[in-house]
Amino acid sequence: SFSECIEYLNHFIKNIQIYTETFVLKNNATNKNSSFGFNKNHPEKINHFEYSLSLIATIMQETNGILEELGDSYYTSYKAPTISQTKIIDFILKAQEKEKYILILDKNDFNKYRKDCSFINNQENLAHKIAIGEFRIFIVVYKDMKCLENINNITKIYGYNSKSYKIKDQIWDEQYLGGVCKISQALYFNGKAKIGII
């Protein structure tokens, strides 16, 4: 139903906010060396939804093309490819024209991933592994559900020195994979894992 759809999207937006507050704003020192320019300058001013849309645009490798059409230029301003809330619909329509979509991961996805090391360690499923390793709750796919992030473009998207690039060569065992999935489940889906910083 329509109300269920709205509730699902509201839950996704809330999870995006949790992600940004937990992994971006609280990790200021780390993010000052981020590829996103606005992290370097004013991480405390990041809008969680704009940050996530910019990340999605980066994964889609559409930062310059989409943003130029929307009136912003990443290369001339040397700021992050921020897609403002006022341009969300334009961004989604431009991505849809190119048959690129956001696939929201839910509790069932994380339950499935938790014990499937062969799936996660398979290079063909790199987008899923990066999403799990980055504690993201989405991947970006083409219309045929093929992931945009893959072994051939990971360097172009994230760079050689990024955590995402380093994840590609890691072999995760069931204990590590289960732990990472439990953290996401605790953050986003009221899971039982306790999260603390030592």
State the Cα–Cα distance between residues 8 and 178, nearest whole angstrom: 25
For residue 88, what pLDDT is reported?
76
Write down the domain spans for the chain: 1-98, 105-136+149-198
Asked if 120 and 177 touch (Cβ cutoff 8 Å), the reply is yes
Q: What are phi and psi of 19, to 5 degrees?
A: -60, -50
The 10 Å CB-count burial string (b at 16+, else e) for 24-58 is: bbeeeeebeeeebebbeeebeebebbbbbbbbbbb
Taking Cα atoms as reference points, which of 115, 126, 45, 124 lies closest to residue 80? Answer: 45
Tokens of 189: 């889906």
Indicate the pTM of the whole model.
0.73
For residue 38, what pLDDT is reported?
46
For residue 28, what pLDDT is reported?
52
For residue 25, what pLDDT is reported?
60
Mean pLDDT by 10 residues, the chain (198 residues): 70 70 59 48 59 78 57 43 70 87 90 92 94 90 92 87 88 92 85 55
State the Cα–Cα distance between residues 17 and 23, nearest whole angstrom: 10
Tokens of 108: 């069932």
Angstrom distances, CA of residue 75 to CA of 65, 68, 107, 108:
11, 10, 38, 40
For residue 128, what pLDDT is reported?
95
For residue 146, what pLDDT is reported?
93
For residue 79, what pLDDT is reported?
43
139, exposed or middle or buried, with CB in 10 Å at 0-12, 13-18, 19+? buried
Query: Could you tell me which residues are beta bridge partners of residue 157?
Result: none
